[in-house]
Amino acid sequence: MILTKLNASPFKKGGIVEINDKMYAFAEKIKQLIPHIKTEESTKQSLILPFFQILGFDVFNPLEFCPEFIADVGIKKGEKVDYTILVENKPLILIEAKSCTQKLDKHDSQLFRYFGTTSSKFAILTNGLVYKFYTDLDSPNKMDSQPFFELDMLDLNDQSIDYLENFMKTKLNVINIVNSASELKFLNLAKNEFKSIIENMPDEFVKMILGKIYEGQKNQAVIDKFKPIIKRGINQYINDKMSSKFKETLAVSETPEVSIEEPEEIAHKIITTMEELNAYAIVKSILRQHVSAARLVYRDTETYLNVLLDDNGRKWICRIEAGKKLSIQIPDSEKKAIRYQLESLDSIYNYSDQLIDVLKRYL
């Protein structure tokens, strides 16, 4: 069965904001709501239902988005799934909701039982912050023990939202999702395993690396000595790759400044750090609910990273100064730079209102 367009899409380019901007804006709202949400019911109303509304579902139409769908399990009758997405009156996606105050580690068994008693193809376990997507790759009609896709609303990125688009009402396609689910599942498992290796650094892994770079005896003392060095080397490599990827993706042009040095010499002195790039990402997340993220670019200099609207030097929104003293400069109404010291990158969110005000002056 292939599911294509069920209704006209509410996400049209040039019209209503697309899913990326909607998701990022909602993620920012979630951060503000979390301290005020204490129960499962408030999690459903404030976090989960709006999430599926962004995906285009009519959450108040029980023929499409059915609350408390009955899924009898064995001799137990009247067992109910929190929500079920129906297509042609048949369950396609089961949704089990928990409070945002709970972790999801031990709650998949209930969803596992429901999955086997219905004709559904997908199941989602969520606390409104994390969404775990399951299907039956290992055995037909039996929910896998591992999710094939996991979305964290507090750690969004464009790649995860791009995949989430497959679950939009107007793009829902079972065959396409299943075909990509297997590769995605093992990709995520491999990523988690790699993360575990980097964070825990098993002795066997250290020995393998030492076999390539160290000729001496590889006893426990040597392993313990090299473990933090190898860990730093891996992290540095990852940071270098991410920095390079950012530059390629954003196609950043350097700041035009008057200098007797050649352009190549100037560029060679400018090193865009991961701290600067992470700060830039935070500024984008704050502003993208008001303007397309594609219009927000950065130019790096030897002293600070400049965030601009439309790559226009006269429309600078802020300047990030990283290093030993982390700070942000924001222009006032006369474009005079006001510097604020930052305790951490997260402190940038404390200046959301000022950043938005600056942006609106240019729109």
pLDDT tens digit string along 294-306? 889 888 887 888 9
38 domain-assigned: yes
**Residue 77 has which token pair?**
């009758």
- Residues 23 and 70 grouped into a single domain: yes
- Residues 271 and 355 grouped into a single domain: yes
172 domain-assigned: yes
Q: 30: Cβ–Cβ under 8 A, 6 or more apart, which residues?
A: 47, 128, 129, 153, 154
Range of the domain at 176: 19-187
How many domains does the chain fold into?
3
4 domain-assigned: no
- Residues 52 and 149 grouped into a single domain: yes
112 domain-assigned: yes
Predicted confidence at residue 304, as pLDDT, reads: 87
pLDDT value at 75 more than 60: no
Determine if the pTM surpasses 0.85.
Answer: no
Q: What is the DSSP string of 264-292?
A: HHHHHH----HHHHHHHHHHHHHHTTTS-
- Residues 23 and 128 grouped into a single domain: yes
pLDDT value at 87 more than 80: yes
Mean pLDDT in residue range 250-267: 43
Question: Residues 66, 58: contact at Cβ < 8 Å?
Answer: no
State how far the alpha carbon of 326 is from the alpha carbons of 22, 278, 286, 298, in Å: 30, 12, 19, 17
What's the mean per-residue pLDDT of the chain? 81
Of 133, 153, 187, the last residue of a domain is: 187
Read off the amino acid at residue 29.
Answer: K
Tens digit of each residue's pLDDT (9 = 90 or more) over 24-58: 889 989 999 999 999 999 999 999 999 999 999 99
Predicted confidence at residue 123, as pLDDT, reads: 93
Question: What is the domain-level CATH number for residue 113?
Answer: 3.90.1570.30
Instruction: Give CA–CA dist 53/60, Å, rounded.
Output: 10
Q: Which residue has the higher pLDDT, 23 or 185?
A: 23
pLDDT band at 243 (very low <50, low <70, confident <90, very high): low
- Residues 29 and 177 grouped into a single domain: yes
Mean pLDDT in residue range 280-294: 87
- Residues 302 and 171 grouped into a single domain: no
- Residues 97 and 230 grouped into a single domain: no
- Residues 138 and 108 grouped into a single domain: yes
